[in-house]
Amino acid sequence: MTGPAPRRNDDRGAAAVEMAVVLPLLLLIVLGIIEFGLGWNRQLNLTEAAHQGARVAAINGDPAAVTQTVQQILGASAGNTQLDTSITTCDDDSAESATVDLTLYYDSPTGLGSLMAHFGRRNVTSFELHATGVMPCVG
């Protein structure tokens, strides 16, 4: 009596086909998580920069000091970005509070937008973030 007959493997290549189907979706999910995390981090940094800039504007009143504070807080996260700043200090006679409005435009670091264009979505390669800091004028 001999052993069992060898089984014939009819599912050769099935793993490659499954990988070809799953990999694009997995790549989109991973890049989306990375893109969201980086965007959220930049938004938090921008909010902190606006808050501290408004604090400096209320205390010091010098727009150059406010800009320096904002740039120092944003630091390296403002690498490939464009930053628009609007500053109202307490030195203005009509101002009841110091205000710093920041708008940050940055390019997508992951290339997710151009990847989404292959799936029928529009090509999004840059994002706009906005933050406002307000501090009351005292004294």
What is the per-residue pLDDT across 78-115, written as a single tens digit (0 to 9) for each? 555 688 888 888 776 666 888 999 998 888 777 776 66
As a whole number, mean pLDDT of residues 22-26 equals 89
Query: Which residue matches tokens 């799953």?
Result: 22
Question: Taking a C-beta distance cutoff of 8 angstroms, is the pair 100, 23 a contact?
Answer: no
Question: Taking a C-beta distance cutoff of 8 angstroms, is the pair 80, 111 a contact?
Answer: no
Q: What is the pLDDT of residue 125?
A: 72
Which tokens is 37 given? Answer: 């995390």
Compute φ and ψ for 104, nearest 5 degrees.
Answer: -115, 125
Give domain limits for the chain: 15-136
pLDDT in tens, 58-87: 888 888 898 899 989 888 655 556 888 888
Measured CA to CA, the distance from residue 52 to residue 139 in angstroms comes to 19
Residue 135 has pLDDT above 60, yes or no: yes
